[in-house]
Structure 1
Amino acid sequence: MARTVLQVWRELMNPAKVDASWPAVRSALVPLVEQAREQSAALARSAYADVRSEAGVGDDGFRPKDPLPLLIERLERSLDVTGPVEFKKAIAAGKTPQQAMDAAAVRMVGTTQYLALEGGRQAMQRSISADEKATGWSRVTDGDPCAWCAMLASRGPVYKSAQTAGDPRQGGNTYHDHCACQAWPAFTLNEPFIGVAEKLYDDWLRETRGRGGKHAVNAFRRWWESEGRAAYQAPDRSDSSTQRT
């Protein structure tokens, strides 16, 4: 979808006639995002059903949930802000038309990906919330997460009944543009950490020792950007050999 979004932007957007060319660009982008969102939701529902079956929960009639509808007003507003508005802001800041086109393209790809992936994320999170057999979830990152996402993943399994007050790593199911994280369901109260999450947990304890709140977050971020990120390897969902004690 990202490649197609870029192609539409570059082929249909005329930087000399932004307001005149934008409606055609937006009309082409809307169905792309909607289709990708549906695909994301379908993949999440299928994955949820598979994990539930593998956990031995049994066929009790539960069916994974759909995401909330994406309102066309929200979608068009998001496209407007990351398209012509971002382009004009870049021009006003002294960028060349090509630089402004590139800046807007980066914002647009991030926002359209967010809205598309939201379909799967909502399907997964709503299924976990509605499923009486689900105990919670883990956050799984992509291969190059930012410090914020790595910090959230370091929590490991987050149980529905967990008390998170005072833990600066709250917000485990929040996402940002250019983020490819996903929630992964848990079905036991002794759920193993996924992939490298237990190492991230150890890293968090080490780097934040003696600190709390935003000071702990900042300490982890400094470590992540200086050395943690370079040594990171993407999680392997099939690796359930380690458990948090």
Structure 2
Amino acid sequence: MARREAPQAYRRIQALMAARLAQQVLQVWRELMNPAKIDASWPAVRAALAPIVQQAREQSAALAQSSYLAARGDAGLPDDGFRPEGPLPLLVDRLEAALDVTGPVEFKRAIAAGKAPQQAMDAAAVRMVGSTQYLALEGGRQAMQRSIAADPQATGWSRVTDADPCAWCAMLASRGPVYKSAQTAGDPRQGGNRYHDHCACQAWPAFTHDEPFIGIAENLYDDWLRETRGRGGKHAVNAFRRWWESEGRAAYAAPARS
């Protein structure tokens, strides 16, 4: 695979894995959850969901590790024995708490807000899908970031997004390659390794100090400079967000920019 195509191909495969997870989560939620007996039916739902999320997390991490080695090879690096890092363990308490909050707690919150039972089921399902995808994709994201940090040959990383990111992700992608030795004080576009529910972004390793921008990042960089000229800190962030939400996002979704 061409080196310039690999980051987006990697992101798409991770997105497909997340989509499969969403289907599994929704199937369990709809088949096992009884909206008339939330507390009684929830333990079985949670017990069915937990291994599904753990397995997806392992698959995401394995893909990140194999892709990292492939990226090293595409960069022309010799096999020096480096092996990619794995993600941190997903603690059971953290997983169960995430499921509880986005499952029965969200359902009850929606009911208290006046929603019908089916509407509450749907609202909880959306939140649960976002949360479980986050935990699963975190496996690959952590494996990639930890490998970049541990690899003496890696110079940094780029944030790879799809063609329709939110304002926050578009802003972070606009930085292009971020180098481990770079001085970034004062740049409001920090937090490049932060993600959110329903986020499609991934990190991709850099092995030189003249890495190309990936996907739409180069155009985003020009947009960032134009929209934030004369501003700094949160004022720059807010200016870019306003532009993205008013016209930027629509422009990138158009056929000419997609």
TM-score normalised to structure 2 length: 0.89
Task: Tell me the equivalent position of 1:191.
Answer: 211
Separation of aligned partners in 2, 1:9 and 1:144: 28
Task: Identify which of 66, 72, 89 aligns with 2:86.
Answer: 66
Separation of aligned partners in 1, 2:219 and 2:34: 49
> What's the C-alpha RMSD, in Å, of the aligned pairs?
1.1
Which structure 2 residues correspond to residues 90-239 of structure 1 after superposition, within 5 A?
A: 90-232=110-252
- Equivalenced residues, count: 234
Separation of aligned partners in 1, 2:164 and 2:127: 18
Unpaired runs of 5+ residues, structure 1, are 235-245
Quote the offset at 1:119 in angstroms. Answer: 0.3
Contact 2:163 2:216 in 1 (8 A): no
Fraction of identical pairs, as percent: 85
Contact 2:141 2:203 in 1 (8 A): yes
Q: Secondary structure at the match of 1:33?
A: helix
Q: Secondary structure at the match of 2:140?
A: helix
Deviation by residue 1:42-97 (Cα, 9 ceiling, x = unmatched): 11011100000110111100011111111111101100000000111111111111
For residue 149 of structure 1, what is the amino acid of its counterpart? C
Q: Secondary structure at the match of 2:204?
A: strand
For residue 133 of structure 1, what is the amino acid of its counterpart? Q
Q: Secondary structure at the match of 2:239?
A: helix
Task: Tell me the equivalent position of 1:55.
Answer: 75
Structure with more helix by fraction? 2
For residue 189 of structure 1, what is the amino acid of its counterpart? H
Query: Where in structure 1 do 4 or more consecutive aligned residues deviate above 4 Å?
Result: none
Q: Secondary structure at the match of 1:232?
A: helix
Contact 2:177 2:212 in 1 (8 A): yes
Separation of aligned partners in 2, 1:144 and 1:208: 20
Q: Secondary structure at the match of 2:158?
A: strand
TM-score normalised to structure 1 length: 0.93
For residue 39 of structure 1, what is the amino acid of its counterpart? Q
For residue 102 of structure 1, what is the amino acid of its counterpart? D
